[in-house]
């Protein structure tokens, strides 16, 4: 047998090592999201980890957080701003978890849509295996004042950004997140959006949104935010006032059940949120009360979204009652899906 020069072996080996591993194939088929030609239902969590006493996001607890997520059957993380750290992205991928990467409008330092810097991020990470969906905006329809009082200015920017992403990365869907049900203006202004995320707070019964959606669109839809906090501002529906983890657990269980029963329409749900956010309503070193007046919103069961009590774990990563409920629902749904 003719011997092969060592230099050739070395160069071939280096070529193999340096060749990037191809990202998984992500695509839309009807109302379904597919990963490598297999249906992918997003059992998700919203994730914006800000440590106690601080006001900015940090991934110092990423190893512990990913372990907790994996144990709970969570397969997808939704972040509100890009993660520009290959080590963190690699850890998420190694945990078998996918990412929805969110981009904001005019968010300084966060690859915002207005500056166009988001395209540089997409070009940099579009082949990373953790990436599932690019997501633009987060319920901006509630804030026309951010767009000179005319929400059409946002829809125009959204449509342009969607086309730019498709040109840069045709291998991942582009989504946007709307507060509750989009109207005709939102839908007509963005025909090239691949799928829609809806932040839905309709007590513990979000399924009515899917019946409404089927009447206006045949595109995939997911609940980008849903859930309940663990503080009752008033006593209601048999749930006592004060910190009440049982109320949160009951509500989240019913919400998840409602979405899983509609898995032929919905392609995922993201529970808000992974950890309590002590930075939201006062001193970031303590857990403050905050939120709207009782009975003013669709947040179960008091209508008052107390902003620092939304976690499925607390700031120290102690599991709340809802964690075990989510774990049971997500893991059982996975087993049921495998039996089909």
Read off the pLDDT of residues 206-235 as tens digits, 9 standing for 90 and up: 999 999 999 999 999 999 999 999 999 999
Judge whether residue 340 has pLDDT over 70. Answer: no
In this prediction, residue 334 carries a pLDDT of 66
CA distances from 37 to 11, 26, 119, 126 (A): 34, 8, 26, 19
Other residues' Cβ atoms within 10 Å of the Cβ of residue 241: 13
Tell me what pLDDT residue 2 has: 36
304 neighbors 233 (Cβ within 8 angstroms): yes
Q: How far is it, in rounded angstroms, from Cα 178 to Cα 225?
A: 10
Query: How many angstroms separate the CA atoms of 256 and 43, rounded?
Result: 9
pLDDT beyond 50 at 21? no
- What is the β-pairing status of strands 174-179 and 131-138? parallel
Kindly report the pTM of this predicted structure. 0.92
Q: Look at 307 and 4; give whichever has higher pLDDT.
A: 307
């Amino acid at each position: 047998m003719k011997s092969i020069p060592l230099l050739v072996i070395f160069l071939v080996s280096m070529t193999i090592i340096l060749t990037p591993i191809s990202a998984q194939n992500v695509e839309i088929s009807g109302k379904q999201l597919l990963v490598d030609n297999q249906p992918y239902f997003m059992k998700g969590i919203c994730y914006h980890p800000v440590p106690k006493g601080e006001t900015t996001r940090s991934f110092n607890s990423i190893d512990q957080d990913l372990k907790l997520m994996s144990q709970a059957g969570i397969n997808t993380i939704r972040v509100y701003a890009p993660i520009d750290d290959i080590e963190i992205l690699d850890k998420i991928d190694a945990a078998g978890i996918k990412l929805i990467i969110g981009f904001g409008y005019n968010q300084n330092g966060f690859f915002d849509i207005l500056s166009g810097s988001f395209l540089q991020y997409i070009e940099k990470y579009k082949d990373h295996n953790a990436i599932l969906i690019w997501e633009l905006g987060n319920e901006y329809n509630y804030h026309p004042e951010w767009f000179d009082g005319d929400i059409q200015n946002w829809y125009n920017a959204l449509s342009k950004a969607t086309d730019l992403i498709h040109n840069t990365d045709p291998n991942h869907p582009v989504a946007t997140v709307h507060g509750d049900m989009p109207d005709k203006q939102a839908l007509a202004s963005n025909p090239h959006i691949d799928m829609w995320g809806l932040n839905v707070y309709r007590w513990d019964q979000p399924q009515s949104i899917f019946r409404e959606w089927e009447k206006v669109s045949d595109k995939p839809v997911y609940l980008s935010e849903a859930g309940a906090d663990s503080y009752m501002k008033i006593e209601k529906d048999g749930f006592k006032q004060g910190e009440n983890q049982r109320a949160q657990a009951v509500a989240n269980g019913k919400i998840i059940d409602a979405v899983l029963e509609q898995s032929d329409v919905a392609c995922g749900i993201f529970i808000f949120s992974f950890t309590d956010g002590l930075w939201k309503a006062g001193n970031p070193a303590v857990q403050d009360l905050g939120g709207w007046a009782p009975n003013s919103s669709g947040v179960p069961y008091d209508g008052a979204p107390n902003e620092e009590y939304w976690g499925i774990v607390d700031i120290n990563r102690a599991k709340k009652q809802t964690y075990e409920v989510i774990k049971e629902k997500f893991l059982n749904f996975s087993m049921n899906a495998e039996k089909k």
